[in-house]
Amino acid sequence: MRYRVKAMKAGEGVVSLAFDARDVGDAQAQAKERGYAVLAVQGGAGFALPSLKGRHRFPLLLFTQELLALLQSGISLVEAIETLAEKESRPDTRATLRALLAALYEGKPLSAALQSVPGAFPDLYMASVRASERTGDLPEALTRFVAYQTQLDVVRKKVVSASIYPAILIIVGGLVTLFLLGYVVPRFSHVYEDMGGDMPIVSRLLMQWGRMVEAHGMLVGVLFLGGVFLTGWWLTRTSTRARLFRALRAIPAMGERIRVYQLTRFYRTLGMLLSGGIPIVPALGMVAGLLDTELRTRLDGAQRMIREGKPMSQAMEANALTTPVALRMLRVGERTGRMGEMMERIAIFHDEEMARWVEWFTKTFEPLLMALIGVIIGGIVVLMYLPIFELAGSIQ
């Protein structure tokens, strides 16, 4: 669940932070690991109807790309953000940039200015900027974040695109089934009533269903569309996705793929932070929210081993946070001192593996789904004509 924490830290003042945590205590622990004194914790919202206006979301990737282009052209940081604010047409985004400028005019560093706009910039982004301020290489940090976010978006788009076609098939199949039950079946029912005679029990049940759908057609249509809308809204909730992940992980064939997917995001994000100069233990605390409850518990054990001086590869292997490929690359990273680069290579390898698996699963699942929908619609048609087949047989 998503928790918003109001906390305070020396040199930063009172800030608002957001964490994906198991409970209030876990959210407080994550804030304390980063050196904050917790003032208040607010849990995620309960049931609420989705807003018709939609929630404003700051275009972080676009902002970073444009800021990087301006900085690389030799424009100063303040002038670059002033330029972005002047050309921005959306009021919410312009207000965020104005707030950033106000903090920079006060002499605050960029990381502190980002924290003055709660909800717009994730903790990983602020941590990368804060690390770059120590090295004086902000463009390099922004370049790493753009590459990181682009790779995440590529994986996310592949998963979303793979789920769009099955969703369309289910909706269209449902609409065709409702049309058959609400319009075609009742017409056949009236014909069979005029003809008289007995019908097979399955056909009789189908006719009764058809008459019921015809009698309450408006209500059935509203319930169907409302169910589609509420299902889409339900799937957008963080708690729903967490429950679905837990349910899918219980399936042997899916569980390992979901674990590898989470570890891929984990290693990619951790590699970006390590490449930016953030120490390993604080970096592990920052990326804990990318894992589910089970893997996060294992990560706590790995952190304890690393604090005790154990090699990272050994700590990750002991807590089942590696794959065979990841383990070997971690050992190479420890020998060469390029741990951040090795973690990014781990993510690239498993991203390609995941893309192949998604393509295979899509090619297998879509025909099966089409066959299931065809069986349902074909079954309705056969049951409608079954009395005619029997009548023809009796005449012969």
Q: What is the 3-state secondary structure (H, E, C) of 171-204?
A: HHHHHHHHHHHHHHHHHHHHHHHHHCCCCCHHHH
pTM of the model: 0.62
With a cut of 60, say whether residue 1 has pLDDT above it: no
At residue 5, what are phi and psi to the nearest 5 degrees?
-115, 125
Considering Cα of 112, then 115, then 120, then 124, what sign does the dihedral take?
positive
What are the pLDDT digits (tens) for 195-238? 655 677 877 788 888 888 888 878 888 888 888 888 878 777 76
1-46 and 152-396: identical CATH topology: no
Residue range 368-381: mean pLDDT, rounded: 88
**Band of residue 46 on the pLDDT scale cut at 50, 70, 90:** very low
With a cut of 50, say whether residue 49 has pLDDT above it: no
With a cut of 60, say whether residue 396 has pLDDT above it: no
The pLDDT value recorded for residue 229 is 84
| Architecture label for domain 1-46 | Roll (3.10)
Residue with the bigger pLDDT between 108 and 251: it is 108
User: Which among 198, 220, 222, 224 has a CA at the least distance from the CA of 210?
Assistant: 220
With a cut of 70, say whether residue 393 has pLDDT above it: no
What are the pLDDT digits (tens) for 326-339? 899 999 988 888 88
Structural domain spans, the chain: 1-46, 152-396
Q: Which residues pair with 40 in a beta bridge?
A: 6
HSE at residue 16, side-chain half, CA atoms within 13 A, is 10
> How far is 110 from 121, CA to CA, in rounded Å?
12
CB 248, CB 255: distance < 8 Å? yes
Least confident of 115-129, 307-321, 356-370: 115-129
What are the pLDDT digits (tens) for 94-148? 888 888 888 888 888 888 888 887 777 877 788 778 878 776 778 888 888 888 7
> How far is 170 from 212, CA to CA, in rounded Å?
22
CB 42, CB 77: distance < 8 Å? no
With a cut of 80, say whether residue 33 has pLDDT above it: no
Least confident of 44-58, 218-232, 290-304: 44-58
Percent residues over pLDDT 70 in the chain: 85
At residue 16, what are phi and psi to the nearest 5 degrees?
-115, 125
Cβ neighbours for 185, distance < 8 A, ≥ 6 positions apart: 206, 207, 209, 210, 211, 213, 380, 384
With a cut of 50, say whether residue 45 has pLDDT above it: no
With a cut of 80, say whether residue 349 has pLDDT above it: yes
| Architecture label for domain 152-396 | Up-down Bundle (1.20)
* Residue written as token pair 């390993």: 280
Write out the two tokens for 339. Answer: 């741990």
CB atoms within 10 A of CB 180: 20
Q: Which amino acid is at 271?
A: G
- Coil, helix or strand for 129? helix
With a cut of 60, say whether residue 296 has pLDDT above it: yes
User: Which among 182, 58, 153, 125 has a CA at the least distance from the CA of 351?
Assistant: 153
User: End-to-end CA distance of the chain, in Å?
Assistant: 68
Residue range 268-296: mean pLDDT, rounded: 81
Report the mean per-residue pLDDT for the chain: 79
Cβ neighbours for 110, distance < 8 A, ≥ 6 positions apart: 77, 104, 129, 133, 138
The pLDDT value recorded for residue 52 is 38
Least confident of 66-75, 334-343, 351-360: 351-360
> How far is 387 from 396, CA to CA, in rounded Å?
14
The pLDDT value recorded for residue 162 is 77
Considering Cα of 102, then 106, then 111, then 115, what sign does the dihedral take?
negative
∠ CA 308-309-314, nearest 5°, is: 100
Considering Cα of 166, then 168, then 171, then 177, what sign does the dihedral take?
negative
